[in-house]
Amino acid sequence: MKRFVVSFLFIAFSTGISAQDQLLSIGGYFEGMNVFVNNPIKSDGYGYCINKVLVNGNVLPASIQTEHFEIDLSLFNFKKGDEVFIELDHAEGCTPRFVNPEVLLPFSTFEITSLTASADGKVKWSTKNESGRLPYYVEQYKWDRWVTAAEVQGTGYKSENNYVIEIVPTSGYNKIRVSQVDNTGQRRNSKSVGFTSKIASVTKSPSKVKTQLYFKSSGKAAKTKYEIYDAYGNLLKKGFEQSVDCTELLNGIYFINYDNKTEKIIKY
């Protein structure tokens, strides 16, 4: 069956208005659960709001003339991971509601079969048993926490899936993992792997800055990822540059994360 891509968060509500009816729709993937619908009375008080229900273009063969009903997706012989698009054709002046639209969102079920990372920052991994298209976050441990270094869209296939992406390594030892977050809000992480990069340590100057802060490696200008926080932990600047314009910072003490370090800077 040909697959289509549902927009980020894997659920989309849309309306299409004509002179006599409207459409409310959701899209996602079959995860083995049915969808429940709230079907109010029409604005004129005669009959229920929904005229018909379409599932992937096919009319739902069930009674819908009730305040609440279930869309039994097993009637359409879906397999887990199949795409599903549901449309509610309803009257004007009333609004039906999908009670549990999250059941069409994919769950994170991936199993890592291999994960490697090389000294140049190339990360490769293979998975199986995915169920639905969820993004993978390639995370790098630095600055005393896991930081997202890259994002790759998962394919969602049960069979083997192969991924590769390059990240910006820090100097010294790098620890890497991949993770997913599904509609439950829970993060699932792989085991971590590591490598030692060939990049020389990055330094910053000056320690007291008025306008520009510069990064160097082996005596030459070097680009590095950085974050600048105020004394209260508010993120003020971030990027991937050889230098940082600090003219807009108020005089005071700040903390900068860069390369694999966290240091203090003074703006005057």
pLDDT tens by residue, 184-212: 889 999 999 999 999 999 999 999 999 99
Q: What is the pLDDT of residue 161?
A: 98
β-strand pairing of 261-267 with 208-209: parallel
Residue type, position 231, single letter? A
Q: What is the pLDDT of residue 31?
A: 86
Residue type, position 182, single letter? D
Global pTM?
0.75
Can you say whether residue 68 is alpha, beta or left, with left for phi > 0 and alpha for psi between -120 and 50 degrees?
Answer: beta
| DSSP class of 19 | S
Q: What is the pLDDT of residue 37?
A: 98
β-strand pairing of 135-142 with 252-258: unpaired
In this prediction, the residues of the chain whose per-residue pLDDT falls under 50 are 1-19
CA–CA gap between residue 18 and residue 181 (Å, rounded): 38
DSSP 85-137: EEEEEEETT---EES-GGGGSPP---EEEEEEE-TTSEEEEEEE---S--EEE
Q: What is the pLDDT of residue 173?
A: 98
Q: What is the pLDDT of residue 9?
A: 37
Q: What is the pLDDT of residue 20?
A: 66
Q: Locate tokens 């609440």: which residue?
A: 68
